[in-house]
Structure 1
């Protein structure tokens, strides 16, 4: 299963009880952070999920409400004893932005690898080495990106957690696989023995459906989003404005209303919609929930440190 915590659901500026854009995803003890707005560290400390096991940081864009918490967080991760590299993914220009921010956090005990505007899906495995203990792995997490329509270069993200097929004893026996190789093949090793080659697929059953999470914020509702988020178990989307009377602001500032996010959820055939990135002028987003719910029933209004757990389906 995959656990998520909405660390901050605000946009623009933080207000009491609402930090800025950030989402933490935990899978088998490893973590991915989506955005790192002001208050991210405080929310993580309250949550108690830990800092050291963050392996990937996905940044949507370089605006302050999505990135200003990054230098402090990277220092805290370093102080936690991490020595393994961290991967940062972001849009065009993110390398220069991150390097600029690192002026105030120049000494880290680990490397940072930056992937700028990747054009192909990125496969991520949790880094493992002999000097640091880990409690799990990503098992081929696939991260895809989509260029969005905002006032600066901005990316949307889709994360797909593959699920390994079940071990099939019958298949292993029918393929005459020696029992001493079963465990190694389950770990995706290819084994050569006495002129024979044994492939992992020979001991596995049918493919199983994984978990898909999409994260879209700071954009107008462009048509490409529906296909990009299609089939998501959870669609985390900005809802900067709840009131339909604010549509002109949404268009001018290149954001979305609750109803626009809901229409994307319907078009993308997602399971749940989690609204976030609320304007600081909208003090009670719950009051506008019906604007989304009338279009897409399974709407959730985000709050700081709201937790969701997504389970694999058999």
Structure 2
């Protein structure tokens, strides 16, 4: 199971009714934070998510509404007693921006690793999660993210017994990619595992125009968190000029990418009530919801839904 907390759904500037862009992923007790706008710490405190277990911080782009909450958060994590390394991933320019922000928090008790504009997917958490990136279309270098949570094959007791695998090796073979030699016989994990199982794909796209070239990257997402800066279809000119999307455009993108569910976020300050425009999205892609600060999701692997 993957737990997600949508910490902030606003764009541009924080308001009394919406914090800025931030999303927290919790998988097997470890956490990944995507973007860290002003107010992220407050929203985390309100949601009771904790700070110490954040291992990765992913930044979509270096506009202030996505990154200005980071120095304070890093200091709070340090004050929580964390000593393990934190990895920050971001687009071109993230290293220079972090050098500037770190002037305000020089004395952290843990190491910070920076990965700038990765060109290959990154496997983390014992290879159970693959993070992929692609270049988005915004007014600054910007990355879209995809998270693929792998699901290991199920243990097959009949297969293990028919292959004569000693019971003492069953658990070890399940958890290890390496073969095991025992009493002159080599045993491999495929001797105890059944068919492979489908994983879970969660994706995020903000801020960006909806380009056709991005569709394959987001294809078949179980859930897509996508910007919907403008709810009104009449704001299309603003969306094009500022490199954002309308609700209808985000919905069309999700539909074309065969996503299972769409959650809209990153709402303009001028849009007081995004739900007033929900039909502009659902008329295009029915399975669309409006994101709200501290909205929580628990996504199950396909087999867990059976």
Question: TM-score by structure 1 length?
Answer: 0.94
1:130 aligns with none
Aligned length: 302
Correspondences of 1:152-301 after superposition (within 5 Å): 152-190=140-178, 191-301=180-290
What's the CA shift string for 1:181-222, capped at 9, x where partnerless? 111111115222344332222211111111110000011111
What's the CA shift string for 1:107-150, capped at 9, x where partnerless? 1111111111111111012xxxxxxxxxxxx6520000010111
- Structure 1 runs (4+) deviating above 6 angstroms are none
| Aligned partner of residue 288 in structure 1, secondary structure | helix
| Residues in 2 aligned to 1:17 and 1:167: alpha-carbon distance in whole angstroms | 48
| Aligned partner of residue 240 in structure 2, secondary structure | helix
| Residues in 1 aligned to 2:207 and 2:177: alpha-carbon distance in whole angstroms | 42
What is the CA RMSD across the aligned residues, in angstroms? 1.1
| Residues in 2 aligned to 1:167 and 1:113: alpha-carbon distance in whole angstroms | 36
Corresponding position: 1:86 with 2:86: yes
What's the CA shift string for 1:41-80, capped at 9, x where partnerless? 0000011111111111110010000000111111111111
| Aligned partner of residue 308 in structure 1, secondary structure | strand
Moved more, 191-200 or 293-302: 191-200
Moved more, 38-47 or 175-184: 175-184
| Residues in 1 aligned to 2:87 and 2:190: alpha-carbon distance in whole angstroms | 30
| Aligned partner of residue 302 in structure 2, secondary structure | coil
Shift of 1:84: 1.0
| Residues in 1 aligned to 2:105 and 2:223: alpha-carbon distance in whole angstroms | 34
| Aligned partner of residue 37 in structure 1, secondary structure | coil
| Residues in 1 aligned to 2:211 and 2:120: alpha-carbon distance in whole angstroms | 20
1:312 aligns with 301
1:40 aligns with 40
Shift of 1:301: 0.4
| Residues in 2 aligned to 1:220 and 1:107: alpha-carbon distance in whole angstroms | 39
| Residues in 2 aligned to 1:224 and 1:162: alpha-carbon distance in whole angstroms | 25
What's the CA shift string for 1:157-177, capped at 9, x where partnerless? 000110111111111122221
| Residues in 2 aligned to 1:76 and 1:120: alpha-carbon distance in whole angstroms | 31
1:129 aligns with none
1:141 aligns with 129
